[in-house]
Chains A and B, each alone.
Chain A
Amino acid sequence: MNALTFVLAGMLAAAMPFLLAALGELLAERSGVMNLGIEGMMAVGAVIAFLSVHHFGTHTLGFLLAGLAGAALSLVFAWLALTLRANQVAAGLAIGILGQGLSALFGKSYESRTVAGLPKLSIPSLSEIPVVGGLFSQDAVVWLGLLATLTIWAALRFTKLGLVIRAVGENPSAARSLGYPVIAIRYSCVMFGGLMAGFAGAYAATVYTPLWADGMIAGRGWIALALVVFATWMTGRVFFGAVLFGAVSLAQLAAQAGGVNLNSQLLASLPYIVTILVLGVISSNRRLLKVNGVASLGKTYIP
């Protein structure tokens, strides 16, 4: 197996923690709420999923509970930011730190335990093509993640629900005067974000790296957050950015293993550099940024 095959086969799985978290955050931000607590929600999702898989052995239950835990934590955030109208940045950071603390607490006695991952589900015949075949052999969560990307893209673009969410993020007062319950819609979007962050954490701790170690999310929540901004709040670009990031981070490891004569610190920073460059270039179109940017993002809304 050469480096290209390795990268192609692994990049979707590598992208999944970023993609799932970023999709959730995308929806929350589209409704006008900036949730900086993603990292903590991923950490809580990760530990809850790990504990359930460790004790009950089923990933389905693990993901379900992880999603619920993420959503529960985001509910606390939403209550602070939407009902009490606290500053979204401060509330998000606080909830994020709380999440990381909770995760360390719950996982205390499971440090460096391992569980079984998920089997790969292959598309017959497609997965046997040389070099690119690995792309068509992925675990169930990757397939569901792709489906979720498509669904969210379509929902935001073509459905009335998507239009309402965008309107709430764009101009909450106008949305309210049309009779839409702004706060309730924002609550649901934030909780959807928490749910997805919980899934992302569950994927990281029970499928991608099926072991528990405190702090294993290691900043992936922040990368997901940055992806949403760099992708100018567009679903397709979030997907593209996440996969690009996953692919480059695998490619730099493959390059090192293959003995490429490049500084490893430089190689390690490549995923960040490439993602920022590529997404920066495509989002340098000011008109596009203005069209896609969320006007009321991060602003406290008082009806």
Chain B
Amino acid sequence: MTSTLNRRNFLRTTAAMGLAAGFAPAMALAEDGTLGITLVLPSPLGDVGWGRALANGLEPVKAAYGDKVKVTILENIMEGPDADRIMTKSVADGSKFLIAGSFGYQNGALQIARRNADVSVLHASGFMVAPNFTPFAARNYEGTYLLGMAAAALSKSGKLGTVSAFAIPELITSINAFTLGAQAINPAAEVAVVWVNSWFDPAKEQESAKALIAQGCDVIFSNAQDTPSVVDICEKSGAYVCNLNSSMKAYAATKYLGCAATDWSPFFLEQVKAHFEGSFKGHNAFLGMAEQVEKVLDWSADIPADVMEKIKAREAGITSGEAPVFAGPIAKQDGSEGVAAGAAMKDEEIVAMDWHVKGVTTPLPN
């Protein structure tokens, strides 16, 4: 039989090819036992930042399992219906391990978990738990406490500043710990806060950093900026700077104080292993230095040796659990008692923290 390429045939052939292409991956995955891992990110994936930290966390998984896993990263996915559709599609295409990389994916990801009992879902910074749905977050405050100690040691004015995205507990906690750490070295240290009210506006973030520096802050903490906007302007303005998630030392050769970094790989490795063994179990994963997820990288060489010793001692105390960050007595911003002497905040209090400690000079937006 000879086939002629007329219009009708052409359409028929291409449609068939399209169908085949659509089904092929799912079938291939089902047959050879490869685990499809899909990571969904809210912002474009750069060299640094939140998304990069999550993506890097999967590298050891790839190295450990080789051909047995197939990692797909979907970036710049807006939270909402679009994300639900894309996550559903990736599960339909054969992914059995989904990492939803933003708080706003919670409802969509949870529905997927409920509909597909064989899919394991990790969800960043949420609070809902289901049998196959694990929310995870890092104890960033453990790292920012140590950064605060270093910041106070290097500040001449005793005035520190932070450019922060939104006034949510996770970020408030980081600022409070930064302040407490600074006061451990210099009891008179103060921290000014500028809320950008945006997760992503590099121009505004730089303006905020300039505003803080203009008012005498000489160490800036870039709280949850995904681009080196703040780090870059601090290097150019001669102020020390530290940040979260992944190291931005490359953008501040002389003024980089350190990074409260998250290394997700121990957690991801553990969870992928659990999935393979069939023992994946939904739980609230709040991960800190004890789990080797939270760590401070790229300490500045300018930090005096005696301060560095104190930092290392406190790091050991936090890791072992003997010296938790939010151990009383801690005074609130208005002077009233936040944590009583001898007590320490519980995890559920930490994740819901909605007050500033004494020493933060900017009132909390309500």
Q: Which residue on chain B has the smallest CB distance to residue A9?
A: B214
Q: Which residue on chain B has the smallest CB distance to residue A208?
A: B203
Known: A218-B200, A258-B192. A114 touches B362 (CB 8 A): no
Smallest CB separation, B150 vs chain A (Å): 21
Cβ contacts under 8 Å, A112 to chain B: 46-49, 226-228
Say whether A265 contacts B365, CB under 8 Å: yes
Apart from A112-B47, A209-B203, A257-B212, what 14 extra A-B contacts exist at CB < 8 Å? A1-B215, A5-B214, A6-B210, A6-B215, A17-B203, A209-B229, A213-B202, A253-B211, A254-B215, A256-B192, A256-B195, A257-B211, A257-B362, A265-B365
Smallest CB separation, A30 vs chain B (Å): 28
> In the assembly, what is the distance between CA of A278 and CA of B227, in Å?
34
> In the assembly, what is the distance between CA of A208 and CA of B202, in Å?
10
Say whether B211 contacts A6, CB under 8 Å: yes
Say whether B366 contacts A263, CB under 8 Å: yes
B46: contacting residue among A10, A104, A117, A213, CB under 8 A: A213
Known: A114-B251, A263-B366. A213 touches B227 (CB 8 A): yes
Q: Which residue on chain A has the smallest CB distance to residue B200?
A: A215
Q: Which residue on chain A has the smallest CB distance to residue B49?
A: A112
Say whether B200 contacts A263, CB under 8 Å: no
Cβ contacts under 8 Å, A211 to chain B: 202, 227-229, 232
> In the assembly, what is the distance between CA of A108 and CA of B361, in Å?
39
User: Is A259 an interface residue when CB atoms closer than 8 A count as contact?
Assistant: yes
Residues of B239-298 contacting chain A, CB below 8 A: 251
Say whether A257 contacts B161, CB under 8 Å: yes
Known: A213-B44, A214-B76, A265-B365. A257 touches B194 (CB 8 A): yes
User: Is B317 an interface residue when CB atoms closer than 8 A count as contact?
Assistant: no
User: Is B118 an interface residue when CB atoms closer than 8 A count as contact?
Assistant: no
A-B CB contact pairs (8 Å), 23 listed? A1-B214, A1-B215, A2-B214, A6-B210, A6-B211, A104-B76, A111-B47, A112-B47, A112-B49, A209-B203, A209-B229, A213-B200, A213-B227, A214-B43, A215-B200, A216-B201, A218-B198, A250-B207, A253-B207, A256-B195, A263-B366, A264-B194, A265-B365
Q: Mark A136-157, 1 if CB is under 8 A from B, else 0.
A: 0000000000000000000000
Cβ contacts under 8 Å, B365 to chain A: 263-265
Cβ contacts under 8 Å, A258 to chain B: 192, 215
Q: Mark A192-213, 1 if CB is under 8 A from B, else 0.
A: 0000000000001000111101
Interface size, A (range) = 35 or more
Residue among A1, A211, A259 with most chain B CB within 10 A:
A211
Say whether B44 contacts A256, CB under 8 Å: no
Interface size, B (range) = 35 or more
> In the assembly, what is the distance between CA of A258 and CA of B214, in Å?
10
Residue among B198, B204, B366 with most chain A CB within 10 A:
B204
Say whether A214 contacts B44, CB under 8 Å: yes
User: Is B363 an interface residue when CB atoms closer than 8 A count as contact?
Assistant: yes
Say whether A259 contacts B361, CB under 8 Å: yes
Smallest CB separation, B33 vs chain A (Å): 33
User: Is B208 an interface residue when CB atoms closer than 8 A count as contact?
Assistant: yes
Smallest CB separation, B127 vs chain A (Å): 23
Cβ contacts under 8 Å, B208 to chain A: 253, 256-257
> In the assembly, what is the distance between CA of A258 and CA of B226, in Å?
25
Say whether B195 contacts A264, CB under 8 Å: yes
User: Is B77 an interface residue when CB atoms closer than 8 A count as contact?
Assistant: no
Q: Mark A36-76, 1 if CB is under 8 A from B, else 0.
A: 00000000000000000000000000000000000000000
Q: Which residue on chain B has the smallest CB distance to residue A210?
A: B232
Say whether B210 contacts A256, CB under 8 Å: no
Residues of A102-140 contacting chain B, CB below 8 A: 104, 108, 111-114, 117
